[in-house]
């Protein structure tokens, strides 16, 4: 069981590693990192009208909220995918 979990964790890391050339997917990233707090349909975030720079700033903890700091977690492509996802009219 523990080994299986470890394998899963490694698999997820490999999949999320931008270096392997797999395209980042906003919906997947959102489901994994954001959904627990922001709902499974990006509720509350569709009103987010800030720029991508502002969005990145929020992820990097520049704004003082209780949201966890995702500094260094996402590459530029992943930030762009997440940004696109939360701003699309019907995410998912």
60 to 89, contacts with ligand HEC by CB under 6 A?
65-68, 70, 82, 86
Nearest to 70 by CA among 34, 31, 20: 34
Q: Is 16 one of the binding residues for ligand HEC (CB under 6 A)?
A: no
Binding track over 22-61 against ligand HEC, x by CB under 6 A? -----------xx-xxx------x-xx------x--x---
Q: For residues 81 and 55, what is the distance between their CA atoms, to the nearest angstrom? A: 11
Given a contact cutoff of 8 angstroms between Cβ atoms, the answer to whether 52 and 13 are in contact is: no
Residues at the interface with ligand HEC (CB under 6 A): 33-34, 36-38, 45, 47-48, 55, 58, 65-68, 70, 82, 86
């Amino acid at each position: 069981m523990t080994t299986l979990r470890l394998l899963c964790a490694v698999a997820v890391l490999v999949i999320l590693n931008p270096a392997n050339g797999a395209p980042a997917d906003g919906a997947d990233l959102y489901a994994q990192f954001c959904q627990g707090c922001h709902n499974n349909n990006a509720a509350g975030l569709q009103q987010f009208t800030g720029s991508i720079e502002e969005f990145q700033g929020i992820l990097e903890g520049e704004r003082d909220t209780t949201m966890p700091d995702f500094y260094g977690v996402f590459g530029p492509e992943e930030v762009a995918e997440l940004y696109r996802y939360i701003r699309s009219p019907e995410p998912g």
